[in-house]
Structure 1
């Protein structure tokens, strides 16, 4: 198939592009390579994809004319929207960036998918949509009406917008709520990257909520495996869905929501210990209060995912952290030699 992926210079997008190309698909990539974090790592991720069966366009999702032109020329069978303004805390500083990318940009994805007869739209949502929910594990059948950040609110909006297009235009849409993704080529603003960098450089790390955080850390290869399987399974109408007792995760329309998480929350201090174990160094720690917009715990119910594609993430924290640290040390060793 020809698969259009937005956010191909991103962490998950670059891994997914390589996976789908290895399976024989042709990938069309879109990314604006913005400077939310160091663009060098984005450019290097793109290089790691190679050029075989891969075409790349550097544009903004908000550029509706350019987006329409790409869809018209490339005629993708499947679209996977991973592009978004990322980060919970940055949404407190620069809310408009989230509206531009995550709302206006996603509207263009929906419109192009509708007009150019895309067979299946898969898009990234986020575990952050669960917001003030305290019922664990988080289920896609839970109510998500109390987001704690604008980032979370835009992701919930994407799910609502997708349902509208599934209903009005019979466009199969599949939303994926990712739970704290980590691994090689990860984002420099994420905890694993920041912690590893600080420990390597003998600097202190900031440990929020005094270490009393639980996260359903999910290794990137598990995320990518799940998406690659879902490519082949467009959302279907749920014949048992009823408006009297509406299930938020499915619909009478071709619409489906999945959690993709490890289904095994880990204490933040255990995560830090895994990095310390791999590096053979003990971190200096600054214990801090919970940050605005953060939730203390995430925990994914992945029953639907397992039932529908016979897969669920299960990479252990130590294995995943080891692979990240190996990549980190090699990547920055190579970078220092290039200077």
Structure 2
């Protein structure tokens, strides 16, 4: 189909390849930095794949530290936390109120939690663009909440999407492993094209492009949208494709910056519902936001994770040797200022 990206060459020709340094920020087991983040996290968006291949989305959480490490390769959830069937592939995006970065942990569900296969700290661009931790423009009272499920995008869901500046996209790779990627932009960036179609612009991020590579193998996706001040979440499930349609992309420009591609989701299931976990976590209460300086700087975490990477080869050795917290911090300052769009 015209403008549709269907292979790796076309994808990387559009958005670039996956830089080795970005891939080396991923670690295979939880370390002290991950434990520190988890200790302050009050909520996580979870994506999990069931036996039929359907990707489900939801929010889990409550008190800070609701998910805690049990060794480097296992996460245990607080008693009473709802979790998927054991054996399910799962991806969690851990949120720390007030912190602009986030922690992604991927693995498999077991009887008590998650067997960890991969962890890494995601850059803060989605948080910055979405102003996720800023005071909401207008909080919605719980009694006024409209909720419901359907196979099409109804008026209430359209209204929610128009106010949502943040979302998480769930996908699965060719081996069935789950992934959860944050997206953020000014409210309304989740563009409703018609009652069954939503488009999501791609913005600069951590340059891993995991979601897009996954879609080449498995087009099923789930999008979970969130809106500050609103305790509801909107789950959209369907099949996705990547497009470089110039007319669509131009209409999604922000600050004169046109996205290089967009994710177009053919929606099969919609669910707008109140999230008990969002309420328990008090995500939108700014008195719960973590003060600066409590967690290690993201630059420190990334530098340490790159240094601990077990990737082999001369290029990986050069990256490990050359990385430093100071260099990463300087790079982040420029990137966050000049490369948001």
TM-score > 0.5, shorter chain as reference: no
Scaled by the length of structure 1, what TM-score is found? 0.28
Of Structure 1 and Structure 2, which has the larger fraction of its residues in helix? 1
TM-score normalized by the length of structure 2: 0.28
Q: Which has the higher strand share?
A: 2
